[in-house]
Amino acid sequence: MDTNRIIELLARKMAGEATPEELKQLNELISMYPDAVYYEEILKEIWDTSAGRAAEETDMTQAWLLHQLKYQDDFTADDEIAVYSSQGRFESLFTIAAGLMIVILIGFACWNMNHKEESMIQITAGKGMRKQFMLPDSTLVWLNAGSHLSYTSGFNRKHSRKVFLSGEAFFDVKHLKGKPFIVRTEKISVKVLGTAFNVQAYPDERTSRTTLLRGSIEMYVNGSADQKVILSPSEKFEFSEVTQRHGKGMRKEKKNLILINHVRPVKIGQSEYIEETSWKDNRLVFKNESFHELKPKLERWFNIRISMESSVTSSYRFTGVFTKENITEALTAMQLIKPFTFKLTAHDLTIY
Same domain, 84 and 150: no
Domain CATH number, residue 320: 3.55.50.30
Give the C-alpha distances (Å, rounded to integers) separating 7 from 15, 17, 33: 12, 14, 13
Of the residues 246, 262, 278, the one at which a domain ends: 262
Residue 41 phi/psi, 5° resolution? -65, -45
Of the residues 262, 282, 304, the one at which a domain ends: 262
Count structural domains, the chain.
3
Domain residue limits at 70: 3-114
Q: From CA 244, how far away is CA 253, in angstroms rounded?
A: 5
Mean pLDDT is highest, among 16-30, 56-70, 332-346, for 332-346
Same domain, 180 and 257: yes
Going by C-alpha positions, the residue among 293, 291, 275, 295 that lies closest to residue 283 is 275
Q: From CA 352, how far away is CA 350, in angstroms rounded?
A: 7
Q: What is the mean pLDDT of the segment spanning 206-230?
A: 90
Going by C-alpha positions, the residue among 134, 171, 131, 163 that lies closest to residue 147 is 131
> Crossing angle of helices 60-70/86-114, nearest 10°?
60
Amino acid 44: pLDDT: 64
Q: What is the mean pLDDT of the segment spanning 222-245?
A: 85
Same domain, 135 and 226: yes
Same domain, 192 and 281: no
Q: Each residue of 78-128: pLDDT tens digit?
A: 443 333 344 444 444 445 445 545 555 555 555 555 555 678 999 999 999
pLDDT of residue 63 exceeding 60, the answer is no
pLDDT band for position 20 (50/70/90)? confident
Same domain, 88 and 195: no
Same domain, 108 and 198: no
Same domain, 99 and 138: no
Same domain, 70 and 177: no
Same domain, 12 and 53: yes
Domain CATH number, residue 139: 2.60.120.1440
Same domain, 154 and 221: yes
Sign of the Cα torsion 17, 20, 21, 23 reads positive
Residue 10 three-state SS: helix
Of the residues 67, 93, 114, the one at which a domain ends: 114
Same domain, 148 and 250: yes
Sign of the Cα torsion 78, 81, 84, 90 reads positive
Same domain, 257 and 126: yes
Q: HSE of 168 in the Cβ direction (CA atoms, 13 Å)? A: 26
Q: What percent of the chain has pLDDT over 70?
A: 71
